[in-house]
């Protein structure tokens, strides 16, 4: 096989070879069996730990999406799919008061460090579900632009990373990526359209034997949680229609959370890789489904510039690489610290306090359901999936499904959210947090419910106010995004923004 040190273009060529696909598949199967033996021998354990990922975009002085300069990238962040994307991670910490305080401090420090690193470049870092001010070239042209690298054509505005080039070539091998939304029906030659939408992902590690219970409960919480988080109600206006100004009604009356259909546009084959997962009965189900998932952009460990890795990553490298393309809205992840849940449906939020609030809400809620024996686990999986997509369409106005504490099935949102916040408090209390600290952590998201608003609803109101004042729709959207950027920089939390 090939050796390390290949450039991105050569790796892209290698990923299309049949013998590479065969070798990759063999290694994944072998490594899965090796891990299964650890499961059976009780050598794969795990403990309660938490973490998160937060994506954002870089914008220029006019708030137009622009490529992130090199100053944005250091030890605390990395590139994502588009040149305009930046991703931050927090390391896993214990799920206890000290660990949660560490999450708060680390996230705030890393966001601040990225922003300070960009101060002299004229760019700013913004966390939003879907940035709607087009780049200077126009959105469609930006997404379609290409360049040549060592005889291979790649998307010009994709991060210059072999993994992304290979993913793009694999996913588009059978056809274009199609975005089919009200007022916007377009086919793109690359997966770069997914880079318009940015997320926050919450991690919850659990003990090995308890993992199926936690995972299945997490599936049943996504509808109510996403309904509070919606933050992507509009695309860049130049993606709507083909000529002139788009219809304001079409722009403003679509789904409350467009990040979900934008990511699902990568489902160019059936079944799609981006979807709501099934329940799991045993931890080994995770391995079975990972092995059976459609292979995408195979990569071999020896292609790494720095050579083979050591430890858990080195022993299971190809398996973990395949896991990185196992795209589910709640994803089971196997790593050296044990199994973890990646809670992936949430868009990025405006302020650090909002991100922290959702992290506390999710880990507290899932843990609270499990430790209290709450019957939410009895909600049919199909109903949980329906709740997710209802939240995508309608945010806090969604028809959500829930099983109440007394076992009754309900769609009463007052009852649902009373239990959601009570269960989050129960879970956080069980992990040792004091009541006043829990109240402060949850306040930014709890205030959304009491006020009946979300960032998506705020964006629509701001655009409508400008339309009522005689502004055209494109200008109204751009002005709304500039106000979003300003308020996100000035306020501690979205809950403090004027309506």
Residues contacting residue 93 through CB under 8 Å, at least 6 positions apart: 49, 50, 51, 99, 100, 102, 103, 106
Cβ contact 240:247 at 8 Å: yes
Choose between 497 and 119: higher pLDDT: 497
pLDDT at 12: 87
Alpha helices per DSSP H over 41-83: none
pLDDT band at 305; cut points 50, 70, 90 = confident
Q: What pLDDT, in 10s, does the model give residues 14-60?
A: 998 999 999 999 999 999 999 999 999 999 989 999 999 999 999 99
pLDDT band at 3; cut points 50, 70, 90 = very low
Q: Would residue 452 be called left, alpha or beta, if left means φ above 0 and alpha means ψ between -120 and 50 degrees?
A: left
- Across the range 164-178, mean pLDDT stands at 94
pLDDT band at 344; cut points 50, 70, 90 = very high
- Across the range 289-294, mean pLDDT stands at 96
pLDDT at 249: 94
pLDDT band at 367; cut points 50, 70, 90 = very high
pTM (predicted TM-score): 0.96
User: In the predicted model, what is the mean pLDDT of the chain?
Assistant: 95
pLDDT exceeds 80 at position 372: yes
pLDDT at 309: 78
Cβ contact 165:156 at 8 Å: no
Q: How many CB atoms lie within 10 A of CB 22?
A: 11
Q: What pLDDT, in 10s, does the model give residues 200-248?
A: 999 999 999 999 999 999 999 999 999 999 999 999 999 998 777 899 9
pLDDT at 9: 81
Q: What pLDDT, in 10s, does the model give residues 97-117?
A: 999 999 999 999 999 999 998
pLDDT exceeds 90 at position 484: yes
Q: How many CB atoms lie within 10 A of CB 208?
A: 18
pLDDT at 307: 67
Q: What pLDDT, in 10s, does the model give residues 76-102?
A: 889 999 999 999 999 999 999 999 999
pLDDT at 73: 83
Alpha helices per DSSP H over 221-324: 222-229, 248-252, 259-264, 284-292, 311-315, 317-323
Nearest to 371 by CA among 210, 226, 219, 204: 210
pLDDT at 149: 82
């Amino acid at each position: 096989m090939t050796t390390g040190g290949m450039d991105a273009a050569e790796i892209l060529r290698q990923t299309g070879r049949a013998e590479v696909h065969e070798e990759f598949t063999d290694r994944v199967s072998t490594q899965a069996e090796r891990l299964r033996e650890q499961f059976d021998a009780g050598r794969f354990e795990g403990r309660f730990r938490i973490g998160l990922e937060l994506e954002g975009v870089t914008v220029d002085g006019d708030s137009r999406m622009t490529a992130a300069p090199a100053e944005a990238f250091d030890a605390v962040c990395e590139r994502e799919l588009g040149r305009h994307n930046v991703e931050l991670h927090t390391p896993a910490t214990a799920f206890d008061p000290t660990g949660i305080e560490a999450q708060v401090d680390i996230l705030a420090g890393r966001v601040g460090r990225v922003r300070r690193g960009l101060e002299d470049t004229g760019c700013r870092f913004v966390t939003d579900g879907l940035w709607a001010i087009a780049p200077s070239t126009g959105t469609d042209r930006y997404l379609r632009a290409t360049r040549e690298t060592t005889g291979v054509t790649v998307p010009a505005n994709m991060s210059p990373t072999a993994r992304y080039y290979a993913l793009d070539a694999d996913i588009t091998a059978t056809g274009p990526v199609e975005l089919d939304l009200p007022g916007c029906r377009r086919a793109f030659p690359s997966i770069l359209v997914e880079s318009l939408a940015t997320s926050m992902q919450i991690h919850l590690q659990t003990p090995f034997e308890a993992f199926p219970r936690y995972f299945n409960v997490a599936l049943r919480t996504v509808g109510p949680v996403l309904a509070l988080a919606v933050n992507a109600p509009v695309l860049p206006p130049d993606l709507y229609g083909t000529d002139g100004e788009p219809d304001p009604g079409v722009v403003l009356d679509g789904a409350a959370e467009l990040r979900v259909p934008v990511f699902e546009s990568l489902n160019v084959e059936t079944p799609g890789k981006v979807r709501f997962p099934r329940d799991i009965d045993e931890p080994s189900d995770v391995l079975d489904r990972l092995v059976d998932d459609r292979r995408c952009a195979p990569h071999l460990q020896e292609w790494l510039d720095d050579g083979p890795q050591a430890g858990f990553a080195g022993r299971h490298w190809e398996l973990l690489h395949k896991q990185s393309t196992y795209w589910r809205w709640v994803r089971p992840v196997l790593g050296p610290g044990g199994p973890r849940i990646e809670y992936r449906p949430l868009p990025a939020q405006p302020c650090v306090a909002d991100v922290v609030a959702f992290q506390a809400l999710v880990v507290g809620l899932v843990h609270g359901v499990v430790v209290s024996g709450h019957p939410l686990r009895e909600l049919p999986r199909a109903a949980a999936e329906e709740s997710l997509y209802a939240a995508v369409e309608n945010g806090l106005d969604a028809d959500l499904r829930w099983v109440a504490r007394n076992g009754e099935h309900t769609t009463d949102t007052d009852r649902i959210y009373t239990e959601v916040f009570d269960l989050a408090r129960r879970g956080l209390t069980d992990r040792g947090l004091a009541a006043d600290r829990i109240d402060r952590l949850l306040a930014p998201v709890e205030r959304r419910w009491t006020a009946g608003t979300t960032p998506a609803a705020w964006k629509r109101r701001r655009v409508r106010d400008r339309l009522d004042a005689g502004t055209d729709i494109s200008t109204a959207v751009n002005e709304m995004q500039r106000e979003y950027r300003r308020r996100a920089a000035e306020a501690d939390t979205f809950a403090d923004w004027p309506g």
